[in-house]
Amino acid sequence: MSADARDTRGPPDRAGPRPPGWLRGVVEAARPLTADDLSRLVPPPPSTAQPSAVLVLFGETDGEPDLVLIERAHDMRSHAGQLAFPGGGAEEGESAVGTALREAREEIGLDPSGVDVLAELPALWLPPSNFAVTCVLAWWREESPVRVVDRAEVADVLRVPVAALVDPERRVTVVHPLGYRGPGFHIGHRVLWGFTAGVLDRLFSHAGLATPWDRTRTVAAPGTAGEQR
C-alpha cells in the first residue's frame, strides 16, 4: 500500500482497528475516479447547485463488512422515503467532510471521533433537490450507538451487509414512469435506488467487488405503478 493510502487512516497512535484490506481496495479504486466515471449528472461550471455532502460509512458487524444507510422521512419534499447515505446541505464555509460528519451526528447520533475519513469522491449533481453532492468515504473505527435523531428527516437507520449489496440475486434495474432506468438493490422489503444505488453500483464495479447480474430483471421505482419483471 502506498504512503498516501496509509496517511488517510489517521495518526499511527490512534486507537482502534485499521480499515480492512477490502475497504482499502475500495478507497484505492475510488481515488482516480472522475465525476463522469460515477454519473452523467455533473454540476455544470459555474454551478448554482447547493453544496452538500453525504457519509459513505463502512463498518463491520460480527466481522462482516456493512454500510450505514438511512431511510428518509416519508413526508420530505424530495427523495421522500428513499434509502440514502446520511448527509445534507453544507453550512457557509463548511468543508465536505465537516458537512458529512455534522449531518450524520444530527440525523443518527453518530460520534464523529470514531470515524476515519478515507477519501472524497468528485461532486455529483442531484437535480430534484439541486444539490452538488460530495460522497465522503469513511471507516467506522470505533463504533457508537446510532438511532433516529431527527424524525423530520430520518425514518430509520440500517446497517446493510456488503455481501447483500454485491449479491447478484438482489440486483435489479429500477424503472421510473418518467423514463429513469438505473441500478437497484433489494434490501429486505425495501429497494435501494436512485443516486445512492448509482454511486454504490459504480464504486463496487471499479473496486472489483461487483458480480455480474441480470440487468433485464426490472422493478418499478418505489411509489410508482408497475410490477417486477
- More confident call, 163 vs 80: 163
19-30 tens-digit pLDDT: 999 999 999 999
List beta partners, residue 161.
66
Whether residue 171 has pLDDT greater than 60: yes
pLDDT, average across residues 163-180: 94
pLDDT at 47: 72
pLDDT, average across residues 91-103: 97
For the chain, domain boundaries: 3-161
Among 6-10, 92-96, 101-105, the range scoring the smallest mean pLDDT is 6-10
Question: Helices 194-206 and 21-30: crossing angle, nearest 10°?
Answer: 100
Q: What is the model's pTM?
A: 0.88
Give the start-end residues of each E strand in 106-211: 115-120, 124-126, 131-140, 154-161, 171-175, 181-187, 190-192
**Cβ 173 vs Cβ 58: under 8 Å:** no
**Cβ 33 vs Cβ 206: under 8 Å:** yes
| Measured CA distances, 161 to 27, 138, 158, 187, 202 (Å) | 18, 16, 10, 10, 17
| DSSP label of 179 | S
151-166 tens-digit pLDDT: 999 999 999 999 999 9
**Cell numbers 488517510: residue:** 8
> How is domain 3-161 classified at the CATH fold level?
Nucleoside Triphosphate Pyrophosphohydrolase (3.90.79)
| Measured CA distances, 228 to 166, 190, 191, 194 (Å) | 20, 13, 12, 17
pLDDT, average across residues 80-105: 96
When pLDDT is cut at 50, 70 and 90, the band that residue 1 belongs to is: very low
Helix (H, G, I), strand (E, B) or coil at 139: strand
Whether residue 227 has pLDDT greater than 60: no
Whole-angstrom Cα distance, residue 118 to residue 15?
Answer: 16
